[in-house]
Structure 1
Amino acid sequence: MASQEHLSSIDDARTSVKLDTFSTDVENDAGSDDLMNSSVQSFLWNRITVTVKDRETKQPKLLLDSIDGVVKAGEMVALMGPSGCGKTTLLNVLARRDAAAGAKVEGVTLVNGDNPSTSAFRNLSSFVEQDDALIGSLTIKETMHFAARFSHKNSLTKTERIRRINSLIESFGLRKQANQIVGTPIRKGISGGQKRRLSVISQLVTVPKILFLDEPTSGLDSSASFEVMSFIKEAAKKNHLIVIASIHQPSTTTFQLFDKLILLSGGKSSYFGPVTGVQDYFGTIGYNMPIYTNPAEFILELMNVDFSSNREESESRLSDIQRKWIESPEARTLATEIEAASKASLPLPNTKQSKRHFFTDVVTLVHRSFIKSYRDVVAYGIRIAMYLGLAIMMGTVWLRLDYDQASIQPVTNAIFFGGAFMSFMAVAYVPSYLEDRASFIKDRHNGLYGAPAFMVSNFIIGLPYLFFIAILFSSVAYWLSNFNPTGDAFMKWVMWLFLDLLSAESLVVLMSSIFPNFVVALALTAFANGLWMSVNGFMVPPTILNVFYKYVFSYIDYQSYVFKGMMVNQFAEVTYTCGSKCECMFRTPLVAECKIAGQGVLDQYGYHTGLNGTWVGILLGIVLGYRLLGLAILMVKKN
């Protein structure tokens, strides 16, 4: 099946439009400022050295040692080596990303013989992550449209943008799947190879001059790997695009698609040159390649030390290969090419960068999140069903509580349950937020939008859904449980529940931003909610709560203000009868009438009326605090 899909998709793409369509459309779009006529003629790096402090010895540790290379327009370069050789580090340095935590980077990277600023370089380049950080509930065409709308690298009209998107989709063999969703845990979407192609074209839509690919064939079989890389190679040739891809053990056919090879081991160069010259080169230095052998597998086995049965012999062989590369004619030729390219001093491509507008970014993100929210049942659909079920359960357990003193404690229990468990179940938002965050990290690395726009849009899109959940839950549970039966009291309950959910979701955003791992974020958010339940005033009244928990946690516990607000809403203006024997549980001024004023219940907790505005303000402050802390974390953490 994989082979049939491979052949049919390539045939479909090449016979219908090929990549000439994309090239022609881009030229038509650009007009007099033809974006494709100005390409990056050369991209070189010279003496790239990266050092970090070793955690154990505290001494400098070399990750990369004087790495050189030069690539020309239209070439596709494979970056290969055994695990831990420095492939990802080099790719990040070349893409002008952070190499590693606390790393010191030396050396130069030049484009057309010039050293552009980081912002200018990012206008010329795009980076495709190893993981397909895609919004699963969007279609292929929608993913492309949003990528194009976010891009500030080139000014395009709507018509130009649509033409370019359609050309890329057809060119990469995705026309038949254009209106199919990427795929969610619940809804099946496109295949792994198609996701890889989509990840690539969602960056190509910005017309980069240099494309970096981190393990583009990861998780794909040999047929799908060849399919993906063949499409990329055609794009590179047709549009004079430089492609640098880290790749692990490609098949023979995939390996032969590349024009050049960068071979690393132990952070040092072992070869840089044409893929077609690999066999001859290693033969000349004494390492003849057996016939019918995958060249990629052969050279990786030579480079690998970690899994060798004779480590000393392997290390000696590796040192020999590295030494012979330094002394080789090929290395001297590379040095000459680098020197020539560095002196070329060609003009940089003129990329018309449109001015970024924060408001436009927010609107676009809200639009994308809205589509996701109503398509992806994990985001809000399951949560709405869950909260509705919780409301029915609560309403039928605390069914039609009357206004006798025997119902005071059950009513209090119901208030606690309604507020605390609603906020606790906000942990269901963790997977949806983590997907959004992964997409944001990818987009930010490519300069599409910043953390403030992402955080504001995330907050805005949640407001209507959380309010709807608050109304839905209250419409069922409030009346079934027979809480204070006035319209004013009902709307105040809805308000407290909405603020409760808003605070809980903001807590999820903060925890998931600090620890972007599903299990860890889920556990810590659940723990935090458990702590808030313990000190919110129900388990232990504030009047006798341990001073440590009272002053350290209670005053910043959003659940405590929700519980206060709901308690005052229920008890401030109602009375309860004392039963047939007139033995009142609470001594209030109404004891002579064999009744209990609700204020007496509030006095037991030390709650006062008339503070709703203060509590609402504190809750909004807590929400703002969570969001600002989450924003700060996103701005500080790069991954």
Structure 2
Amino acid sequence: MDSSHSHFQEIISNDKSESCESVLDPGRVGLAPFDVNLSQDVLQGSGVYLTWEELWVTVSTGKRDGAKSILRGLTGYACPGEVLAIMGPSGCGKSTLLDALAGRLSSRTRQKGEILINGQKQKLAYGTSAYVTQEDTLTWTLTVREAVYYSGQLQLPKSMSKFDKREIAERTIREMGLQDSMDTRIGEWGRKGLSSGQKRRVSICIELLKRPKLLFLDEPTSGLDSAASYFVMNRIVKLAREYGMTVVSSIHQPTSEVFQLLHNLCLLSSGRMIYFGPSLLANQDIEQGTGSKFTVEEVIDLLIASCSSSDTCKKMKTLVAEIRKRPYVALGFGLGSVFYNVGSSYNSIHERGSLLMFIASLLTIMAIGGFPSFVEDLKVFRRERLNGHYGALAFVVAHTVSSTPFLLLISAIPGAITYFLAGLHQGNVEFMYFTLVLFACMMLVESLMMIVATIMPNFLLGLIVGAGVQGLMMLSGGFFQLPKDLPTIFWKYPMYYIAFHKYAYQGLYKNEFEGRHFRNDQLGGPSTIEGETILRDIWQVEMGFSKWSDLGVLLGMVVVYRVLFFVIVKIGEKMNSVLAKDC
């Protein structure tokens, strides 16, 4: 690495008076022969030459011990007509370095060191640089031509005619290889449109309209297959040579074909630079520096293993597990504090009923949040099912068994907090019953959402349908409108009897009021009122069977819903096999 290192120091110390032609001598930089055909703008020194030296970025931790260093003394450069790739494992500082060079760091960060543009400290002017984010934020109703042209209307000078703007937009589209998709709508979930690679190229097109001299790309190949990744990066390299653009891109696990397109490589690990130089010499230089024969794959695996075994990664996994439980714990404390020690007065009758309805309903509503993971689980199942790994029955049983402990935990923790803070019916059996009803309700909602995910694997529509079905069941459950007051058609028959909320509410009411007495504040009546009278006259509960029967109905509905889920999965398999045979 002696020759590349000496040239690296020469680049950093180079002032603006030196021409780009001498800086970009392929013999000095170590570029492949096909990379030397640069445009005249580059050779005449009109491009943007970016350097940074001893760059540190820290972020405040909010603690007394100060700040945490994200980038540690990085030094590097990017030349016109070249693509600099920033690589490293997740969390190594790739995006932070990119944001620092583009001037996009958040207010929470502190930056030290020098970032020079053509040897001088200056801010990036509008139109001089462009930044393509990792997410493709595009209007799905527009075609490719419309999306790029409308953006050009906003970006390009007002003095330019609409015809010229349209010509620039269409030329940019052709340069990114999208000429065959100009009139195709971008599309979204559930609506056919462009592929992921095409959407990424549209995002790049929009930022290339003003032909920026400096282009930042945040993982442009993320989520793309190898062919799409190569096509995107190949187009970027060609445009960098043609227009003399300085391109700085973070990239994660490029294929060998993509790697060969890159000019220079900045390899990071834990915020430190472990290699900077020509990408094609990286493997050789790393071998010489370590004194052993590492393949590129082994180097990448070593960096990833280092990141995975770090304390930060372990803390993150623990934090994610805790965050999943916190909303349910917060719900328990919220309900317990609002209904704290409700007592046994006449007013507490309605307070207890409202509390029982609310916790049973809200816990089940919150369980809808697992719908996106259900969709992903089904995708994995279909792939593994096609490979013959296991069948539908094994998937349904395994999913039920694996989810049971988690659902039981998030039923018991907020349930216990709410139960004892509110001072509900004291007794081990009563509390156990309360927890089991909540658990059965959550199992039912998860089963319902799995059925919806099988029929409608669209995140937005699935959440709307699942929430809508639960809303109908809540309305007909017997709380908002007492059973005898429900309209007969639809709401009483059949909704009231098929809604699991009915059995949950009635079981919880029986568990809370049976065998208890409450003060009667009504004039002209007895001094106390029995719990059975409250159940029969106030809540209109069916008293012909015990609370355990209500729990049994709920558990039976869990089995029915799971069987229904299994049947729908099997029907989907048979339909797919029939379609495959017909094709």
Q: Normalising by structure 1, report the TM-score.
A: 0.42
Q: Which has the higher contact order (CA 8 A, sep 6+)?
A: 1
